[in-house]
Structure 1
């Protein structure tokens, strides 16, 4: 992509309205209250979508209501950012119903991760509008490191630099090399779910992957599907975040599986990134230009804002 022509998205400032919606599962009312108070302390004006606390099994209400909340926030010119209250399940059911024309006409960031990855992917595929990967808006759950990264990334036009952390298990996956491209991805399961309908071309892109608490066979199957379907053909590099709560199985760890599957791509890999579901996970721009420098163990990401 020609990033000199990327959509112009204004950074957030005091007094800006942000809308909380639940495109996937239902958050607790306490979590929403904490989020609202936190955002107000930042000088923002949070609104809560009318269906944000709906509940229908594992979904935050009916598909049409979750989609309505999301699209209403996108269409409202007074809303400067859309914040997903949580991940969970169900965002994939509405990802193709987003009002892409409204997003192109009035670009704004979507903030979220995990299940929300599929919405980031769909928006990027159709609009090339960047977003924010992370859910650091709940300081009680995420901690100060995460919250500070969130505060910085929503208000700055400076690059975000994420350094590999040697204490992260995925740090051992780091190879060598330096590449530049659009940073696309997030939750590995959602990347695979998007394949064939909501996954943008990854040719020349830096693929970001993270996941939590799945079987090793599931990770093997997911990556193999993406490789053999051609979805990862042309990927310039891979940024590996946190793979949290994975139990060893039959003498293998999730790092063994990742090394085996990612190794066939033959591209630079940078592991050990504090991005995902683990402790001190950072908020970062997604869908912007980035430089993966495996030799210096750093991922430099252009701001989502202009």
Structure 2
């Protein structure tokens, strides 16, 4: 858990960043929310899985207060409907209400799981478009980020859900984007290992080069399940970023094949595949394709800059990615440079 003193302190340096340039004289874009400030009220929603108990909610609200913010839980945050945090229309109403609430400056998802796609038909996108706010979260929250990118101009933040551990590196990355309107350049940290060649945090380049475009993506499983629905944005010229967890190699292959057959992979300007955590089939023989080999088969032939290994995904030190904001990647260096602030 981050301490309040750590949260309010100035950023300093972090191994995940090449630069953390604060946004000054920011030109406002349509749907651009304002940056967060200490003392702001933020909404807490559970659009997917349920919060287990009141103790879990207590830790969640403490995390928000450690950021210097005031938590405002949605009225039915502790509801449970099977493995979901309430029925679909109720969860959708909770999200819509937070966008409408004038007191709330940003919205945090407390956790992922499954269920965000089920509420998409029940969201009021006209109301959301008229009240742009950052929606912060990851994993299943990808469904909401993609729907907002498709139906509104409101950017999102792919970052830790509130129930995440929030390491110091994760907090600094998030704080720079959302509090300071920074435009950082992300590079993986040095591993600090006692060995001749680094093995941790390595970048694997499938095709070198640089590319610019809006950052669109998130969890591969969630994104691929939206193919063929009206809740995916146009990926023409985008930087596609992906990650996943607990998926066997053949499933990664299947989902990337779906993105290829649907035409999505053929339209992007570049690809960043972050971390694939626990993506190994435990019952398979050594002759199976590795995740790296699967990615190489799909990404190298695209002819666009592509690399694997960015600190995006189900890891403790995950960076925060502004969804819908323009960025530049350098696939040989393994860097992501944010070109414009996510907030004013």
Task: Report the TM-score when normalising by structure 1.
Answer: 0.93
Residue 25 of structure 1 corresponds to 49
Residue 5 of structure 2 corresponds to none
Work out which of the residue numbers 250, 253, 265 in structure 2 matches 1:232.
265
Residue 105 of structure 1 corresponds to 130
SS, match of residue 128 in structure 2: helix
Counting only pairs closer than 5 Å after superposition, residues 27-176 of structure 1 correspond to structure 2 as: 27-29=51-53, 30-135=55-160, 137-138=162-163, 141-164=165-188, 167=199, 171-176=203-208
Unmatched segments (≥5 aa) in structure 1: none
Q: In 2, distance between residues paired with 1:143 and 1:164?
A: 15
Change (3 A) 1:260 1:129: same
Q: Confirm or deny that 1:218 pairs with 2:243.
A: no
Work out which of the residue numbers 224, 237, 251 in structure 2 matches 1:192.
224
Q: In 1, distance between residues paired with 2:335 and 2:183?
A: 12
Residue 273 of structure 1 corresponds to 310
Using the TM superposition, give the Cα deviation of residue 54 of structure 1 relative to its aligned residue in structure 2, in angstroms.
1.3
Residue 240 of structure 2 corresponds to 207
Q: Which has the higher helix share?
A: 1
Using the TM superposition, give the Cα deviation of residue 167 of structure 1 relative to its aligned residue in structure 2, in angstroms.
4.6
Using the TM superposition, give the Cα deviation of residue 5 of structure 1 relative to its aligned residue in structure 2, in angstroms.
4.1
Q: In 2, distance between residues paired with 1:4 and 1:239?
A: 27
Q: Does the CA-based 8 Å contact 1:137-1:150 persist in structure 2? A: no
Using the TM superposition, give the Cα deviation of residue 170 of structure 1 relative to its aligned residue in structure 2, in angstroms.
6.8
Q: Does the CA-based 8 Å contact 1:213-1:244 persist in structure 2? A: yes
- Larger CA deviation: 102-111 vs 245-254: 245-254
SS, match of residue 121 in structure 1: helix
- Larger CA deviation: 288-297 vs 111-120: 288-297
Task: Report the TM-score when normalising by structure 2.
Answer: 0.83
Q: Confirm or deny that 1:283 pairs with 2:320.
A: yes
Using the TM superposition, give the Cα deviation of residue 103 of structure 1 relative to its aligned residue in structure 2, in angstroms.
1.8
Kindly tell me the number of residue pairs found equivalent between the two proteins: 303
Work out which of the residue numbers 298, 316, 325 in structure 2 matches 1:261.
298
Change (3 A) 1:34 1:59: same
